[in-house]
Amino acid sequence: MRISHFIASLSWLLLFTLQSGALYAATSADQTALEQNISNFVEGLRTSDLAKVKSTTAQGYRPDAQPKYAILSRLGPVTDVKIDDERPLSKQTIVEAGVRHADGVSSWSFSIQDGSRILAAEMTRADVYGTRTQATSTKKDGGRSHHGYSSSGPNRTVVQSCELQPSSCNRDARLVEFFFATDRNIKITNNVSTLDTDAPRSGILSYGVAGIRIPEDHEPGQIELPSEWHFLGIDYKSATDETKHFSIKRLAATSYDDWKELVKRQADQSQNRALVFVHGFNTGFEDALYRNAQIVWDLQYQGVSVLFSWSSKGKVRDYNYDQDSADIAQAEFAELLTTLHDSGIEHIDIIVHSMGNRVVLPALDQLAQRSNPVRVRQLVMAAPDVARDKFMIQFPLARKIVDGATLYASSADKALIASAELNDFPRAGMVFATGPVLLPNLDTIDVTAIGDEILGLNHTVFATNRAVMDDIKLLLINGMKLPRLSQVRKFPEPPLASTYWKYQ
């Protein structure tokens, strides 16, 4: 199963870092010039003629980011181009085009600048035929040319399709692409994010898209990164090897309007469903990107994926700062869910970890008070770092707009134990001698048996343990109710009355 195809209309945007001042939206492209440019561009890629490609592209086009499609050699020379659709965004025009070759057809998405100049391009489909097909004559329709292709003529046997065989088009099947929204004060240039350390919280949402490559040696639940050493004031980090490590391949900021339009287009292709991940305490922006990608990959989730990254400083010593950041982000999270709903997302699932519950629960309570509020299909709360009594007040209020809710709790989570000592009050994600938090319409699962620590104070046992991810997958992807796994059983066991679930 491929992850990279789930945002077909997004990939072209990830081919380059959006430069807001460099883009110009063409509202009425000259069709002849545009079709000729597309023909020359594709032919230039096919023959590796850089001069021909350069003659068709705009300033800002990045040859290093352009995939080299192996299948072009089998498709043969370009014989015709058909413009299928043009969609103006706020600062660019997106063009969908069909290209006829001597031995097949290909479909493309382009970002167009100045009427006909190509700023970014991606092949979205290609079919190689066993025999050549012939194009019909051009016909006129209201002054605009349309090229129709005849289905008659020689028998057309599909030999190869890059939609079914991504390797034939050099589309990276291990690339996880998703949307993000953040209230961090970051600037993104050349796929690198830089945080304003003087004012790390912006107080407003900014939007973007990301592409994270999953390494071939990936183990479910893990985030494989280069080794880092810190010794006597010297910092060392080994080089990233994309076959062994998670790597950021594409990272771009977008305008709100472009982001919303892209979400809407993807919603139409994804059964109008989205998975929103909200990270916890001690999580930097890049850490959040990697964790979201890992969750999407391990779940093999095929809907719209959205990371909500609030302004955690990503350091253990900044616990109090992170608490304030979580409180500030509540309104922004409610805004994000509303935007997704307005973009056509009908089914929203949320996975929220640790202190992220301090963001999500009050935000859902805010939304529940509105007329015709957004609804959440499944709310998965992993190790919530929220005061236990506060959680028992907030959850029933949030539950008004939640169809199903699951709590993963542990008596051995070191980070929650430390938080309880720091706050002088037990946390909702803990399991006590009397048991975990129990509330109506909440499935509580004790995961203590899985272990006390996987990634230290990040306490991401929900994401790093395959059994828990398998349980989440059966819940979100398959819609299964408990018990979903053989190792999860009711507790206490009969003949006592069972009140929650427990990993054995």
499 three-state secondary structure: coil
Calpha distance 172→191 (Å, rounded)? 17
Amino acid 490: pLDDT: 93
> Is the separation of the CB atoms in 295 and 222 below 8 Å?
no
Domain spans of the chain?
A: 28-128, 175-503
Phi, psi of 368 (to 5 degrees): -65, -20
> Is the separation of the CB atoms in 161 and 129 below 8 Å?
no
Residues 6+ apart with CB under 8 A from 359: 278, 308, 310, 326, 327, 329, 330, 333, 352
Q: What does the DSSP assignment read for 5-27?
A: GGGTTTHHHHTS---TTT----S
- For residue 74, pLDDT beyond 90: no
CA 237 to chain centre: 27
Amino acid 217: pLDDT: 85
Amino acid 444: pLDDT: 97
Q: How far is CA 456 from CA 138, 230, 262, 265, 412, in A?
A: 65, 17, 37, 39, 12
**pTM reported for the whole predicted model:** 0.72
- For residue 185, pLDDT beyond 80: yes
Amino acid 397: pLDDT: 96
More confident residue, 116 or 143: 116
Six token digits for residue 112: 């167009």
β-bridge mates for residue 215, sequence order: none
Residue-wise pLDDT for 43-55, tens only, equals: 999 999 999 999 9
Calpha distance 123→53 (Å, rounded)? 15
Name the band, by pLDDT with cuts 50, 70 and 90, for residue 73: confident
Averaged pLDDT score across all residues of the chain: 83
Amino acid 140: pLDDT: 36
- For residue 461, pLDDT beyond 90: no
Q: Using CA atoms in the order 472, 477, 478, 480, what is the torsion angle rounded to 10 degrees?
A: 30
What is the rounded average pLDDT of the residues 278-288? Answer: 93
> Is the separation of the CB atoms in 185 and 313 below 8 Å?
no
What is the rounded average pLDDT of the residues 213-230? Answer: 84
More confident residue, 57 or 166: 57
What is the rounded average pLDDT of the residues 462-487? Answer: 86
Amino acid 418: pLDDT: 86
Report strand pairing: 117-129 vs 104-113.
antiparallel
Query: What number of H helices and E strands is found in the chain?
Result: 13, 22
- For residue 3, pLDDT beyond 60: no
Amino acid 200: pLDDT: 87
Name the band, by pLDDT with cuts 50, 70 and 90, for residue 6: very low
Name the band, by pLDDT with cuts 50, 70 and 90, for residue 80: very high
Name the band, by pLDDT with cuts 50, 70 and 90, for residue 365: very high
- For residue 230, pLDDT beyond 70: no
pLDDT more than 90, % of the chain: 52
Name the band, by pLDDT with cuts 50, 70 and 90, for residue 465: low
More confident residue, 348 or 227: 348
Residue with tokens 């134990």: 417
User: What is the C-alpha R_g of the chain?
Assistant: 25
Residue-wise pLDDT for 334-362, tens only, equals: 999 999 999 999 999 999 999 999 999 99
Amino acid 413: pLDDT: 84
Q: What architecture does CATH give domain 175-503?
A: 3-Layer(aba) Sandwich (3.40)
Amino acid 422: pLDDT: 87
Amino acid 170: pLDDT: 57
Amino acid 129: pLDDT: 77
Residue 304: which of 280, 339, 331 has the closest Cα? Answer: 339
Q: According to the per-residue pLDDT averaged within each range, which of 190-199, 227-236, 323-332, 365-374 is highest?
A: 323-332
- For residue 331, pLDDT beyond 70: yes
Amino acid 222: pLDDT: 83
More confident residue, 103 or 172: 103
Calpha distance 458→448 (Å, rounded)? 16
Residue-wise pLDDT for 81-136, tens only, equals: 999 988 887 678 889 999 999 988 999 999 998 889 999 998 888 888 753 333 33
Identify the sign of the CA torsion 104, 109, 113, 114.
positive
> Is the separation of the CB atoms in 335 and 183 below 8 Å?
no
Beta strands in 185-246 (DSSP E): 186-189, 192-195, 201-213, 228-231, 234-237
CA 112 to chain centre: 24
Q: Among 18-22, 104-108, 301-305, 464-468, name the one with the lowest average pLDDT.
A: 18-22
Residue 376: which of 357, 408, 351 has the closest Cα? Answer: 351
HEC per residue, 370-412: CCCCCCEEEEEEECCCCEHHHHHHHHHHHHHHEEEEEEEEECC
501 three-state secondary structure: strand
Amino acid 268: pLDDT: 82
What is the rounded average pLDDT of the residues 194-212? Answer: 90
